[in-house]
Amino acid sequence: MKRSELESHITEQYGAAPDHPFPGDGDSAVFRHSGNKKWFALIMRVRRKSLGLPGEGEACCVNLKCPPLMIGSLLSERGFLPAYHMNKQHWITALLGDCGAETIAAEDENLLAALDMSFALTAAKTKKAPKGSK
């Protein structure tokens, strides 16, 4: 999946618009929940070398929050890497089909499943009613 396709999917599926919070970096886009403002996706361009990929230039990728127990299985799938510049126990990086990463990009099905997990994990928590109340 290309970056533009992922951004369109996020906007349509979750109603989130891209935010560009890093001064001087208009390319990186953060997608947040409207209520709690927590990030669920960070799309960026990263030097291939920084991701441990061969070759020169950059790769387009997205960081997603992930349950710690799922990290290992996602890392065994094509296009998933340890999180770039985030907590590697709770975040994962998926390569997008832009910037020369087409042949190693995450498969759309796996990417969208990881995106759904990230969105759910960062959603506002519902408060439990106190015991004895109805």
- The residue length of the chain stands at 134
Q: Where are the domains of the chain?
A: 3-95+108-122
Distance CA 58, CA 113 (A): 25
pTM: 0.87
Distances (CA, A) of 77 to 11, 47, 67, 133: 26, 21, 16, 46
* pLDDT at position 21: 84
Q: Strand 80-82 relative to strand 91-95: parallel, antiparallel, unpaired?
A: antiparallel
Find all residues with CB under 8 Å of 101, minimum gap 6, and list them. Answer: 53, 59, 60, 61, 79, 95
* Fold classification of 3-95+108-122 (topology level): Aspartate Aminotransferase, domain 1 (3.90.1150)
Local mean pLDDT, 10-residue blocks, the chain (134 residues): 95 93 86 92 92 89 94 94 89 88 87 96 76 61
